[in-house]
Every structure is written in C-alpha cells, then in structure tokens.
Amino acid sequence: MASIQQVTGGWILIALYAAAILFFVIRGAMRTKNMSDYAVGNFNFSPLFVGLSLAAAMTSAATFVINPGLIAAYGLSGVLSFGIVFPIASLVSLVVLTKSFRRHGTNVKALTLASWIGTRYNSKGYALFIGFLSVLLLTFIVLILVAITKVLSQALNISEIWMLFFVVAFVFGYMMFGGANSMVYTNTMQALVMVIVAVVLISSGYPYLKDGLFSFFDKLAAISPDLVKPTNPASPLFRDLFEIIVAQMIVGVAVVCQPHIITKSLLLKKESDVNKYLVSAIVIQILFYSVVFTGLYARLTFPDLTANGKPLGIDGVIPAYVVKIFSEGWVAISIGLIVVLGLVSAGLSTIEGLIQSLSTTITSDIIKPLFGKHITNDRNYILINRLVIVGMAIVSFLAARSQLLHPNLSVAIFAQNGVYSFFSIAFVPIVFGIFYKSTSRNTALTGSLTALIVYFMVYYIFPWLIQTAGVSIGFFDKYFTGKVQNPAIAAASAIVVSVLVSLVSYYYFRKSNAEKLNLSKNIA
C-alpha cells in the first residue's frame, strides 16, 4: 500500500499531468472542423514528433505493465518471446510496410485502415466488413484501462472500480474533442516521460545485477529452475520454441496491421519525412521494448508473487513493484511518482490512438455508408463521432470491470484474442495490396475470410474437440489442454493458412486472366 507521501505527491503530479493534456486537447480541438481533421489532423507535424507518437502508440501499457507481469511469472522464456523475437519482427515489418502503405493512403486520402482497404480494392462492402471487425480492437482498450487502473489504484490507494470509472470518464471525455491535432502532441509528451521511466525501470534492477548475470540467474533459479530456461512447459504461453519464436515472429510481423499503428504515417505531409519518422520511432521503440526485463526484477522482489500475504496477480506485479522499491526517502518517492506517471503515459499514448482510429472507423466506415443519405451536413459527423466515443466508453468500462473482478490469468489473454484475430484478418489485404499490385478483391477477401474462420476454429473449436470430445488434432493437442489458450497459436495458424490460400487464389486468377487475354487476342 502506498504511503501518505506517495498518495499526496501522486495526486499533485496526476493533476498537473491532466492539465497539460487538456491544454493540448483544447489547442487541437480549436483546429478540428471535420472528420478529416479529427482523423489525420491539419497541422504540419514534425516527423520527430510523429515518430515519438508512433513509438508511444506501439508500446502501450502491455509493454510496460502486463508483459513484464507475465515475465515475472514465467521467466526467461517470456523475455525471449516479448523482449527479443517480437520486437525484431515488429520493427522490421514496420519499416517494410510503412512506405508503401502511406503512398497509397495519401493518394486516395484514406482516413482509416478500412477506407484504405476499401479504396485499394474498389469495394465499399470490403471497407464495411473491415470496419465492423475493427470493433474487436475494443479488447485492447480494455487491457489498457485495466493496466492504468491497477497502477493508479495502488499508487493512490483507491478502489479499482472507482479508479476505472475516473480513468474512463477522463480519457474518453477529452478524446471526444482532441483527435489527431492534439494526439501527436500529447503522445510526444507521453513518449518523453516514457523514455525517462524506461531508463529508470531498466536500471532499477542494479542491486540484483551488480554481482553479474550468472549471480542474477542463480537467484532466479533458486526460486524456480523454470525461470531461467529458454522454454517453460508450465506456462500457457512459452511452452516450446514454436510458441516463443515461430508464432511470436508471425504475430510480430502482423501486429503492424492495426489502425493506430500503420495509419500513423498518414499524419506526415511530405514523403521526405518518412525516413526521419521511422528512425526516431525505431530508436525509441527499442528502448521501450527493453522494459519487459523489469519483470525479472519484480520476481526477485516478490519470489512467491504475493505482497502482504495476498496474491498479486500477473496484472498487479509491476504496479506493486514500483510502489515497493520507490517507497523510502523523498528522492525515491519522487522517482516512483515519475515512474507511475510513465506507466500511465504508456497506457494513454496507445488508448488515445485506439479511440481516435476506432471511433473514426465506426463513424466513417460504418455509420456514413449505412446512414449517410440521411446526414446532409458533414459537420454532423463530428457530433456522431462523439456519441460513438460515449458508446465505446460504456462498453469498455463494463468489459474492464469484468476483467478486474474475474480475470482469466491476465487481461492480456482477453485483449490478444480480439487484437490478434483482427490483424490476422487484415494481414492479407494489406500485404497483398502493397506488394502484389494486381491482387483482386476476391483474392484479398478470400484471405480475410480464411483468416477469420481459421482463427476462431483454432481458438474455440480445437480446445472443445480436444478437451470435451476427446479428439486428437496432433500438433495442436499440447497447446489446448489447459484452461488458458494462447491467442498467438490461433493467429499464427490463421495468417499462414490465409496467406497460402491467397497465394493460390492470386496465381490462379492471374493465370486465368492471362489465358482469357490471349484468347481474346487470338480471336481478334
């Protein structure tokens, strides 16, 4: 439990932080006149600012709070997965996909990922399909709300449910008016705080590391030998190298195919800014990804994952670690409060992007195509967008409350199930749309539908067949025998199968079209 000094200092710092956010929101709202302004802004943003905004948006509370908690529970196997394989795959994918995606998105004035896909394949129906599926990203918003709530409730000694209510009211409230014009600046401010906090958290393990790495690993092994092994058969996420490397690499490549990440480059006004944007984002992102190592320090601090005789729960490990190690002396308390602010920033930076991109998608890609003929004034879409955000706030609060009261291992599982299924479905239309210029709508849609079917079959049907019906599925048996399922297995399966099916479709239709063209020439 936080001390009186920590609570008092926490309230003061949070109040100042909230005031700074509101300043940028008001400044941005004054320039927001329509949905285009809300979605991509009308400022000439610095590529450095947009790069920092991307790094902050990619990181989220999962990297600073949730994933280190999983690493605290399962050890080095989690570090290999979340701290090495996933970062390498996601950053390489970011560089490869960004330039081509931006080039097409700028040409067609795309505001969202769904509109990009719709214009790329000349299909309003496809855009509507992706728009509806984008609602799955609400699960990621729930993860961030849970993480922020855990951090602030421990730092300020407030009930989790009441803290959740305040967080939802504040964040969704200011996002009703801010949009891209304010988000780049709030994200930049948050990223700068996160840089400081990342350095503090990474260096906070010095007392455990001062005797060398071998001593460090010996201390972990004394708690449990599984904590220092490259695989952890007792975990639901890091059981073998397929889960840790292969599945996570596929997920890392595909994770860029999320609206709040891949559309960030559309904020740049000049093509010459793209390289500066990517360099700044990648350098900062590498630092942020390194924060997951904090989970190992937390496990040494709480060997049995309890505090004051009570189980911490995976989502509560890092908040408890921060409160504990920065609790003695005014210098330590001050640093601890800045760390709390950084953990909150990690959540806000991503949740802002998710609220902005998802509300824009619902307004522009669902409501406008279905009911646009009844809405004659474009300015009315700003009001509609705000009502959409209110609806998102209500749904997110109820789902986050459920996760706080009844978690299934970690809110990460709930969030990954929604997010992984979405980018599995979006992967083929984006990648084929960028690298295979003649890809038809039918080929892309076949890939999306295949991914949709395979993902939910693997995640829901396979466990039922194995656990309830007693049917063996061979390779998948060991991954679906427990209570908790790993969404990365379903996502990797869906992406691989959908890509193979789409390649067959692509080359079949290309050959068929070529034969028809030759036939018509011969007839002529």
In a domain, 445, yes or no: no
Establish how many alpha carbons lie within 13 A of residue 43's alpha carbon, considering only the half-sphere containing its beta carbon. 19
Task: Write out pLDDT tens, residues 41-55.
Answer: 555 677 888 888 788
Number of domains in the chain: 1
In a domain, 420, yes or no: no
Q: Assign residue 349 the CATH number of its domain.
A: 1.20.1730.10
Cα(456)–Cα(421) distance, integer angstroms: 8
Cα(284)–Cα(276) distance, integer angstroms: 13
Percent of all residues in the chain with a pLDDT value above 90, rounded to a whole number: 38
Closest-CA residue to 62 (of 482, 413, 461, 422): 413
197, 342 contact by CB (below 8 A): yes
| Residue 333 confidence (pLDDT) | 81
- DSSP conformation letters of 59-103: HHHIIIIIHHHHHHHHTHHHIIIIIIIHHHHHHHHHHHHHHHHHH
In a domain, 427, yes or no: no
Return the bridge partners of 311, or none.
306
Task: Write out pLDDT tens, residues 398-427.
Answer: 999 999 998 777 788 888 889 899 999 999
In a domain, 410, yes or no: no
Cα(43)–Cα(40) distance, integer angstroms: 9
| Residue 110 confidence (pLDDT) | 59
| Residue 34 confidence (pLDDT) | 66
Alpha helices, H only, 248-379: 248-254, 259-262, 274-289, 294-301, 317-325, 330-361, 368-371
| pLDDT tier for residue 335 given thresholds of 50, 70 and 90 | confident
How many Cβ atoms sit within 10 Å of the Cβ of residue 222?
12
Residue-number span of the structural domain to which 368 is assigned: 4-28+60-403
| pLDDT tier for residue 395 given thresholds of 50, 70 and 90 | very high
Q: Phi, psi at residue 20, to the nearest 5°? A: -65, -40
186, 352 contact by CB (below 8 A): yes
Would the pLDDT of 390 be above 80?
yes
| pLDDT tier for residue 273 given thresholds of 50, 70 and 90 | confident
Would the pLDDT of 520 be above 50?
no
Task: Write out pLDDT tens, residues 111-123.
Answer: 678 888 888 898 9
**Which CA distances in Å does 512 have to 217, 499, 507?**
59, 20, 8
| Residue 519 confidence (pLDDT) | 46
H or E, element range at 495: helix 487-523
| Residue 517 confidence (pLDDT) | 46
Highest mean pLDDT (candidates 109-113, 232-236, 454-458):
454-458
In a domain, 237, yes or no: yes
Percent of all residues in the chain with a pLDDT value above 70, rounded to a whole number: 91
Q: What is the pTM of this model?
A: 0.85
> What are the start-end ranges of the E strands in 379-473?
none
153, 316 contact by CB (below 8 A): no
In a domain, 520, yes or no: no
Cα(248)–Cα(255) distance, integer angstroms: 10
In a domain, 478, yes or no: no
If you average pLDDT over residues 471-479, what whole number do you get?
Answer: 84
In a domain, 229, yes or no: yes
